[in-house]
Amino acid sequence: MAITVTENAAKQIEKQIQQRGSGIGLKLGTKISGCSGFAYTIDYADVQTESELVFEQSGVKVLVDQDDMDKLDGMVLDYVKNGLNASFKFNNPNATGECGCGESFSV
């Protein structure tokens, strides 16, 4: 089981945690949403729970609840700047489809 964090994503995670002033990493998960079934969730992680796995790369931690690993295993988290827009990008090999607006995915 693995989540990969690109160098660009690691830099952005570190920057956001520094701006916030606290946190041990980024919490990544899924929720039921949208027309395709699931949506990604991102939040700050202040503590690690027993049910969370920790993936550490480039000096940052990404925490994922074990219940979400079937949907996220093998994913590459990137941070992409495109003109004036910048956002995290989820390259998920488990996603079998996405809705037209890109807000949700199916597995």
* pTM as predicted: 0.85
- Tell me: the pLDDT tens digits for 75-93? 999 999 988 889 899 998 9
Domain parsing of the chain, residue ranges: 4-106
Close Cβ partners of 79 (under 8 Å, ≥ 6 residues apart): 6, 8, 9, 11, 12, 86, 87, 88, 89
| 80: amino acid identity, one letter | V
Contact 105, 37 (CB under 8 A): yes
Average pLDDT, the chain: 88
Lowest mean pLDDT among 14-23, 31-40, 44-53, 70-79: 31-40
So what's the pLDDT on residue 52?
96
In this prediction, residue 102 has a pLDDT band, given cuts at 50, 70 and 90, of: low
Residue 10 has pLDDT above 90, yes or no: yes
What radius of gyration do the chain's Cα atoms show? 14
Residue 8 has pLDDT above 60, yes or no: yes
CATH number of 4-106: 2.60.300.12
